Structure 1
Amino acid sequence: MVINNMTVNKKNQLALLITAFLIAILSLFSALNFGAAETNINDVITGILSSGEGSFNARIIYELRLPRTLLAFMAGAGLAIAGLILQTVTRNPLADPYLFGISSGASFGVVVIMSVAGISAGFMLSGAALLGSLLAMGLLILIAGRQQNAQVESMLLAGVALSFLFSAFTSLLLYWSDPQAVAAILFWTLGSFARAQWATLWLPFLVIVVCISFMLSFKRQLNAMLLGDESATTLGVRVHRFRILMLVLSSLITAVLVALCGGIGFVGLMVPHIVRFFISQGSTAGLLVTSLVGGTFMVWVDVLSRSLLKNQELPVGVITAAIGSVFFLSLLFFRKSKV
């Protein structure tokens, strides 16, 4: 009976994974039809197959919409995985790169180099975002690591405080920056995929694939962390070292995406919770479904940002914040009602 149940469960997981994959592919293809210029399915197919050679619409599809849609998908997948990492290693369902100060630290690093050095593109942005996120993570570990008995709770409280701290520093830099640069920096901090280019897509793709591979290889340790620090230690997991490793992975994903897309919040909070209703995220299929759902969600958020207002583009972070805040409050309400 147990073997039969395990077989059925694996079949259900595989079916859900295939469904999520097909929906993701369909979403990527469908999103290419939305934009200021009117296009049809033939333009999409021609643009992809001809690499943008041919009609003007085909060039729009290949050179503008396709890299933007792919970046949106990778951003959603990466932020969902980053949120899942944080929720697993801290055993806190409300953990998110924003709540832990990682995104704010990365944004601070980028704003420093944009406002002081005047750099607005290139790998310097990713490096500055990584340094900012690692600074936030270092401070977080330094503050919370001293309280071993309540480390997880302290990390969340310290993360919220660090998020406000880096946001304050960012606002101060914007206040002293050149007024012409402030508008561009502010639009960037709200999140956008408008600067997506083929030349820069390989970096988030590589980082996300490597981090997902790490999570799959450490799947046993991640499942053990859900049982608590003492149980994980009994099972042979070096809890403190492993937690730091996972936090660094989360910081790396967030830093690269913040450098390319700006600040996009609540994705890492919402998507793992949504997926958790349907499948265990401790399995291989669960991890992959989380990334696929996150990518699909962000693709359609990007479509909304381009479609809600005529001839204008809403910042992606505004839409995710509006959806995420409602989700966050609903989650707190239902958690309280169960107690």
Structure 2
Amino acid sequence: MRRLVWILAVALPATVLAHLLAPGIGDLGTLLGPAGTLEHRIMWELGVPRLLAALLTGAALGVSGLVLQLTLRNPLAAPELTGVNPGAVLGILAGLTFGLFPADSAGGALAAALAGSALGGSATWLLTSRDPGRAIVYGLLGSALLAGLVTLLLAYQPSRFGNALRWLVGSVQGRVWEHLGFTWWWITGWILLIWAGSAVLGVLAPGDDHAAGLGLRPGAARAAALTAATALAAGAASLAGAVAFVGLVVPHAARWLAGADPRRTVPVAALTGAAAIAGADAVAQFADRLMAGAEVTQRLGVPTGVVTALAGAAVLVTVARRAAHVPG
């Protein structure tokens, strides 16, 4: 319980505050003060939407990863390892390459991400319908295939590489209020729906025999849960692209904080994921200020996905070493 209070009362507010102050434009007084100053407009029109995009992305990835791990009964299940996230990025890049929607269209990005994630994820679900434990194997193979298709798209129209890089690495830079309109309701609605059905996840997690013994139809329940996880991952990808490791690490942190009951771990995964992405993006902005002269910062900024990849890899190495009892 103390761990849960810590994440709610300390970690999440601290990451939000760090994110708002990271660009060095102003402080909370600037944000809450008179609306006429340039600093206030910059923070309100660029800083706050970027923060909300980070929070929404993290919440979506945290809950999506939790649902995948419970449904597939695999601790390594995550949107980026089951073909869902790579498929979403492929859908977005395909839509941009062939001009199916404008580059600044939030609705177009969400629709393309949903189509791509459904394509990437459904192949994995169909191949593992009788053996969910092998989802990661097929997911990795599918992700490799999708990555090859992304490379083909970039070769087809290399002039779009600069814009594609943000989707491939993962970043919430440049998100404004227009990008949050429908996506806000999409992600929030799916999280609330999953929370309302979290008891079903608890019944499904021990296995199909256990679920069937309690009167649940495992196939239908799994399909509904995977659909929800895919929808959340698509929403996250439409905002930030391919942000790595959050959907894998956050569910484990949520269970460590709140226990195994999905009725508690679902909201905790949302809050923990939100704190993780907001914190990672704050670090990215601080690094961006330190690297102000680098060319990458002039075009893209330090991507959020780079920070989550480095932090997630460090966490996984630490956990693996402890599990293997390797001396530090």
Normalised to the residue count of structure 2, the TM-score between the two structures is 0.89
1:153 — aligned with what?
A: 133
- 1:198 corresponds in structure 2 to 177
**Corresponding residue number in structure 1 for 2:98:** 116
The answer to whether 1:318 aligns with 2:318 is no
Stretch moving more, 207-216 or 221-230: 207-216
- What is the correspondence of 1:214-225 to structure 2 with a 5 Å cutoff? 214-225=193-204
Deviation (angstroms), 1:234: 0.6
Tell whether the 8 Å contact from 1:67 to 1:201 is kept in structure 2 after alignment. Answer: yes
- CA separation in 2, counterparts of 1:266 and 1:64? 26
Cα distance between partner residues in 2 of 1:57 and 1:200 = 21
Instruction: Provide the rounded CA distance (Å) in 2 between the counterparts of 1:183 and 1:26.
Output: 32
Q: Is 1:164 the counterpart of 2:144 in the alignment?
A: yes
Report the counterpart of residue 84 of structure 1 in structure 2.
Answer: 66
Task: From the superposition, tell whether residues 208 and 16 of structure 1 become closer, same or farther in structure 2 (CA, over 3 Å).
Answer: farther
User: Cα deviation per residue 1:73-103 (whole Å; 9 max; x = unaligned)?
Assistant: 1111110000000011011111110000100
Q: Deviations over 1:287-333 (max 9, x none)?
A: 21221111011111001111114323211111111111222333344
SS in 1 for 2:21: coil
Query: Which segment drifts farther, 206-215 or 88-97?
Result: 206-215
Indicate if the aligned counterparts of 1:82 and 1:97 stay in contact, CA closer than 8 A.
yes
Distance 1:332 1:29, change over 3 A: closer
Shift of residue 282, structure 1, vs aligned partner = 1.8
Alpha-carbon offset, residue 139 of structure 1: 1.1
Q: Aligned AA for 2:132?
A: V
State the match for 2:115 in structure 1. Answer: 131
**CA distance 1:251–1:184, change in 2 (3 Å):** same
CA contact (8 A) 1:105 1:135 kept: yes
Letter in 1 for 2:111: G
Counterpart check, 1:101 vs 2:89? no
2:133, 2:266 → 1: CA distance? 25
* Residues in 2 aligned to 1:331 and 1:233: alpha-carbon distance in whole angstroms: 34
The CA RMSD measured in Å over matched residues stands at: 2.0
* 2:174 aligned counterpart, secondary structure: coil
Q: Which residue of 1 aligns with 2:253?
A: 274
Given that residues 57 and 239 in structure 2 are in contact (C-alpha distance below 8 angstroms), is that contact kept between their aligned partners in structure 1? no
**What code does the residue aligned with 1:321 have?**
A
Matched residues in 1 for 2:189 and 2:227: separation? 13
- Shifted more, 21-30 versus 166-175: the winner is 21-30
Higher Rg of the two aligned structures: 1
Which consecutive segments of 4 or more residues in structure 1 shift more than 3 A?
Answer: 15-23, 329-338
What are the residue-to-residue correspondences of 1:215-254 with 2, within 5 Å? 215-254=194-233
Distance in 2 between residues matched to 1:34 and 1:199, nearest whole Å: 22
Once residues 28 and 170 of structure 1 are traced to their aligned partners in structure 2, the CA distance between those partners, rounded to angstroms, is 33
Provide the C-alpha distance between the structure 1 equivalents of 2:235 and 2:262, rounded to a whole number of angstroms: 26
Normalised by the length of structure 1, the TM-score is 0.87
The 5-angstrom pairing of residues 22-37 of structure 1 reads: 22-23=9-10, 24-37=12-25
Return 5+ residue gaps in structure 2 as ranges.
none
Distance across 2 between alignment mates of 1:241 and 1:336? 37
Q: Secondary structure at the match of 1:265?
A: coil
Shift of 1:189: 1.6
How far, CA to CA, are the matches of 1:213 and 1:78 in structure 2? 11
Q: Give the CA deviation at 1:185.
A: 1.0
What is the CA–CA distance in structure 1 between the aligned matches of 2:69 and 2:89, rounded to whole Å?
Answer: 21
- Aligned-pair identity (%): 26
Q: Secondary structure at the match of 1:237?
A: coil
Q: In the comparison of the two structures, how many residue pairs are matched?
A: 314
What is the correspondence of 1:32-71 to structure 2 with a 5 Å cutoff?
32-37=20-25, 39-46=26-33, 53-71=35-53
